[in-house]
Amino acid sequence: MQKFRVNGTAVNFSGDSQTPLLYVLRDNLKLYGTRFGCGIGACGACTVHIDGQAQRSCITPVANVSGADVTTIEGLSENGEHPVQQAWLEIDVPQCGYCQAGQIMAATDLLKRIPAPTDQDIQDNMTNLCRCGTYVRIRKAIHLAAQRMHNKSVADNGATS
């Protein structure tokens, strides 16, 4: 029995402990925002946060997340309010949209580690594939989100001082 939390809710999974987390999220928990693209950790469509870090759930056996906190795109915000999602909407990034939840989870992780990324930082860290080729807008949206998050943190700090 694997016990962990997904988007704050306790989950018990009694199936094969080698089942990749991706299929537990999709088939068992019906959280379809996390997507299958390759099954070998190459495309990143299945990216989720495990204890706050971006991981590829298609190559993460559910045994590995025992006791962990998993966040999927559905848990990132109630209704798309996260600044990364807002930037994605403003720049209108998606085409087919299939990879975008994974892209957003990867970008959120990047901005947590590097709050003001350069183009070089973005290209070094954003390795998720987009078959439609939305990369031009993904890059713009990450810069926009970084700016918004920076402004917010400045504003928040101002309010407390």
Partner 1 sequence: MSLSRRQFIVGGVTASGGLLLGIPLQNPRAAAHQDLQSIEESIEAIGIDATGPGQLGYFITINPDNTVVIGSNQPEIGQGIRTTLPMLVAEELEVDFASVSVKQMPLGIVRTSSGMQWRYGGQGVGGSTGLTGNWEFMRQVGARARLMLQQAAASLWEAQLDDVYSEGGHVKHKDGRILAYGELVTAAAKLPVPEDAPTLKPVSAFRIAGHGQKTIDALDIVTGRARYGLDTDVPGMKYAMIERSPWHDGTVVSFDATQARKVPGVIDVFEIKGPEPGAPYLILASGVAVVAESTWAAMQGRAALEIEWSHGSYPQEDTAAFDAQCETLLAGDGQVVRDDGDFDSAIATAGRVVEATYSVPYVSHAPLEPQNCFAHVDKDKCRIIVPTQMPAGASRAVAAATGLDRMAIEVELTRIGGGFGRRLTADYAAEAAMVSRQSGFPVKLVWSREDDIRHDFYRPAGHHHLKAGLNQEGVPVAWTQRLASASKYYRRAEVSDDKLWEAELYTDDFPANMIEHFRLEWFNVNSAVPRGSWRAPAHTANAFAIQSFIDEIAFHSGQDPLDLRLNMLGEPREIDYANHGGPTFNPGRLAKLLRFVAERSDYRARRASPKAGRGIGLACHFTFGGYSAHAIEVSVNHQGDLAIDKIVAAIDCGYAVNPNAVEAQVQGATIDGLSTALNLKITVKDGKIVQSNFNDYPLLKLAQVPTAFESHILNWDETPTGVGEIPIPTVAPALANAIFHATGKRIRRLPIADQLKT
Give yes or no for a contact between 127 and 69, defined as CB atoms under 8 angstroms apart: no
Helices of type H across 51-134: 73-76, 83-91, 100-113, 119-125
Backbone angles phi, psi at 25, to 5 degrees: -60, -45
Strand partners, 20: 61
Q: Is 72 among the residues that bind partner 1 (CB under 8 A)? A: yes
User: Which CB atom, from 80 or from 154, has the smaller least distance to partner 1?
Assistant: 80
User: Could you tell me the smallest distance in angstroms from the CB atom of residue 20 to partner 1?
Assistant: 7
Contacts of 2 (CB under 8 A, 6+ apart): 11, 12, 13, 14, 17, 62, 63, 65, 66
In 3-state terms, the chain is what percent helix, strand and coil (to 5)?
45, 15, 40
Please pick, from the candidates 2, 23, 46, 145, the single residue that binds partner 1 as defined by CB under 8 A: 23
User: Could you tell me the smallest distance in angstroms from the CB atom of residue 64 to partner 1?
Assistant: 15
User: Could you tell me the smallest distance in angstroms from the CB atom of residue 26 to partner 1?
Assistant: 7
Please pick, from the candidates 63, 89, 116, 154, the single residue that binds partner 1 as defined by CB under 8 A: 89
User: Could you tell me the smallest distance in angstroms from the CB atom of residue 126 to partner 1?
Assistant: 5
Q: Is 95 among the residues that bind partner 1 (CB under 8 A)? A: yes
Give yes or no for a contact between 75 and 6, defined as CB atoms under 8 angstroms apart: yes
For partner 1, the binding residues (CB under 8 A) are: 15-16, 19-20, 23, 26-28, 30-40, 42-43, 45, 72-74, 76-77, 79-80, 85, 88-89, 92-101, 104, 119, 122-124, 126-139
